[in-house]
Amino acid sequence: MKRSIALVLLAGLVVSACGGAGLPGLGGGPKIGMVTDIGQLEDKSFNEFSWKGVQDGAKAVGGNATVVVTKDTADYAANIQSLVDEKFDVIVTVGFLIGSDTLKAAQANPTVQFFGIDQFVADPAPANYQGLLFAENQAGYLAGIVAANITKSNTIGAVGGVSAVPPVVAFIKGYEAGAKAEKPNIKVLVNYTEDFNAPDKGEASAKTMIGQGADVIFQVAGLTGAGALRAACNANVWGIGVDVDQYLSLPDAQKCIVTSAEKKLQVAANDAIKRWKDSGKQGGNFFNDAKNGGIAASPIRNISPVPAGLQAKLDKALADMKAGTLNPPSK
């Protein structure tokens, strides 16, 4: 079985825990586990910041956190089961692809709380399984506004990961819509690499787009996308990050990252665990969008002065999405 388990002790855990089933030698308190999507834990994006949120949540409820790193999609079910067998109270699984295995585990283990990041929980939904969803189309739209306002060639690109993953598509569809709202004749190049863990593929994809005139590259591909940003920096064109503020998480690409299309993964995971602690079982779906601060565009960086009117356009789009008068396409 291809998995590795990393056990993380949170500061103050032993002294703050007060009963409950803890891991051997760790004292009591809720046991909070996470199973990653395929790839690395330290991916500077999706897995890593979901894990940060799980750690924050575990600390907030006086518990301890464990992560199982998935190396192969065939291991999803076994990785979840490893935490069930250890009698974890809460299990957070990360990514659309692990959703079916999470549903089966929730149905089989009604006393365990499951949260699924980027997983839509359809009716009839188990009372102990909540999907944590994001309006990626909204964040992508904001990125598209930025791209359209900084391009000089009138050609921009987007490097996607796996095309069967709806959030990836939603980011890119929103990006296209935001750019075309600014410049109807802008050319948007899109390529899905069908891989989240291959920086070389991302770099090659971005190089092809740059060769076709793209001077802004939006990455929506995890570690694969880190390669796309590397290509952008090497070619002295602009890069746009994804999921988190990648200007901060990818220092090697800082010089060309102008913004990132953010989904507040760390906050969402932390808040979900606290909701469980405060209110008991959580079911259905919890949507993180412009209305509750669940998405954002990172601050504009590396461009001085910022193009006239750009921040006002971003602020208006965000306000319109909060009000429900702007609904970018997601597919």
- Kindly state whether residues 51 and 187 are assigned to the same domain: no
115, 144: one domain: no
Both 12 and 158 in one domain: the answer is no
Domain span holding position 165: 136-262+296-323
For the stretch 219-265, pLDDT in tens is 999 889 999 999 999 999 999 999 999 999 999 999 999 999 999 99
Contacts of 116 (CB under 8 A, 6+ apart): 92, 93, 98, 99, 102, 129, 130, 131, 132
Count Cβ atoms below 10 Å from residue 245 Cβ, excluding itself.
18
What type of residue is 81? Q
pLDDT at 45: 83
Q: Does 49 lie in the same domain as 22?
A: yes
Q: Does position 157 have pLDDT exceeding 80, yes or no?
A: yes
Whole-number pLDDT of residue 277 = 97
Say if residue 283 is in the same domain as residue 231: no
The domain that holds 54 is classified in CATH as 3.40.50.2300
Same domain, 59 and 189: no
Q: How far apart are CA 70 and CA 231, in angstroms?
A: 27
Is 6's pLDDT higher than 80? no
Q: Look at residue 36 and tell me whether its pLDDT is greater than 60.
A: yes
Quick one: 214 and 272 in the same domain?
no
Residue 129 scores a pLDDT above 80: yes
- The pTM score is 0.88
Cα–Cα distances in Å, from 72 out to 33, 87, 324?
Answer: 18, 23, 39
Residue 94 shares a structural domain with residue 120: yes
Query: Residue 43: what pLDDT?
Result: 81
98 and 220 assigned to the same domain: no
Same domain, 37 and 77: yes
Please indicate, yes or no, whether residues 121 and 91 belong to a single structural domain of this protein.
Answer: yes
Residues 113 and 165 in one domain: no
- Provide the pLDDT confidence category of residue 38 given band limits of 50, 70 and 90: confident
pLDDT range class, residue 9, cuts 50, 70, 90: very low
